[in-house]
């Protein structure tokens, strides 16, 4: 089976990500389901840190009056962690990972690594961070970098909204 591609259309450009369906079926299956339901349409990048990562997937970001709660929203359920060792399944530059607040708490929030952040891998010391990698950027890393460098406030929220218009799933 060929892994599918998630095409992110944002107000800053297009990002294409190969989803590791072959090794991360639970995490990619959840992401694909949400994308096909148009769950991500209109969601903002609510956390951007130059040299670290960009984060999105919180439905609360669709409502500016809830900005104090951005980063806490999700789909209303959690998926189990998938921890599979492999050369592509490490938090290196250009990979996408499931954001979570602890074991088995992933839902809809994700981040794209702007740098090598292997300390976030499940099998690296100190073992507190467990962020499963489920894909990698194949096109648009320049867009990811630009988003990470956006001016932001003290909570790492971009000063100007960076919005996901849509995420579509396809073969290229």
Catalytic pick among 30, 45, 55, 89: 55
Catalytic pick among 110, 120, 136, 152: 120
Catalytic pick among 3, 52, 115, 139: 52
For the question of residue 52 being annotated catalytic, the response is: yes
For the question of residue 46 being annotated catalytic, the response is: no
For the question of residue 111 being annotated catalytic, the response is: yes
For the question of residue 83 being annotated catalytic, the response is: no
Catalytic pick among 19, 110, 117, 131: 131
For the question of residue 55 being annotated catalytic, the response is: yes
Catalytic pick among 46, 47, 136, 152: 47
For the question of residue 109 being annotated catalytic, the response is: no
As a three-state string, the secondary structure of the chain is CCCCEEEEEECCEEEEEEECCCCCHHHHHHHHHHHHCCCCCCCECCEEECCCEEEECCHHHHCHHHHHHCCCCCCCCCECCCCCCCCCCCCCCCEEEECCCCCCCECCCEEEECCCCHHHCCCCCCCCCCCCEEEEEEECHHHHHHHHCCCECCCCCECCCCEEEEEEEECC
For the question of residue 47 being annotated catalytic, the response is: yes
Residues marked as catalytic: 47, 52, 55, 100, 111, 120, 131
């Amino acid at each position: 089976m060929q892994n599918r591609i998630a095409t992110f259309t944002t107000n800053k450009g297009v990002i294409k990500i190969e989803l590791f369906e072959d090794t991360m079926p639970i995490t990619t299956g959840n992401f694909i389901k949400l994308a096909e339901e148009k769950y991500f349409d209109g969601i903002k990048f609510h956390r951007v840190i130059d040299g670290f990562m960009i984060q999105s997937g919180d439905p609360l970001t669709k409502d500016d009056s809830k900005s104090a709660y951005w980063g806490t929203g999700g789909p209303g359920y959690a998926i189990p962690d998938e921890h599979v060792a492999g050369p592509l399944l490490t938090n290196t530059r250009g990979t996408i990972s499931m954001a979570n607040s602890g074991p088995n708490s992933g839902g809809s929030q994700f981040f794209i690594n702007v740098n090598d952040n292997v300390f976030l891998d499940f099998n690296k010391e100190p073992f507190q961070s467990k962020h499963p990698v489920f894909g990698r950027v194949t096109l648009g890393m320049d867009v990811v970098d630009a988003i990470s460098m956006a001016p932001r406030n003290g909570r790492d929220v971009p000063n100007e909204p960076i919005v996901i218009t849509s995420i579509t799933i396809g073969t290229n």
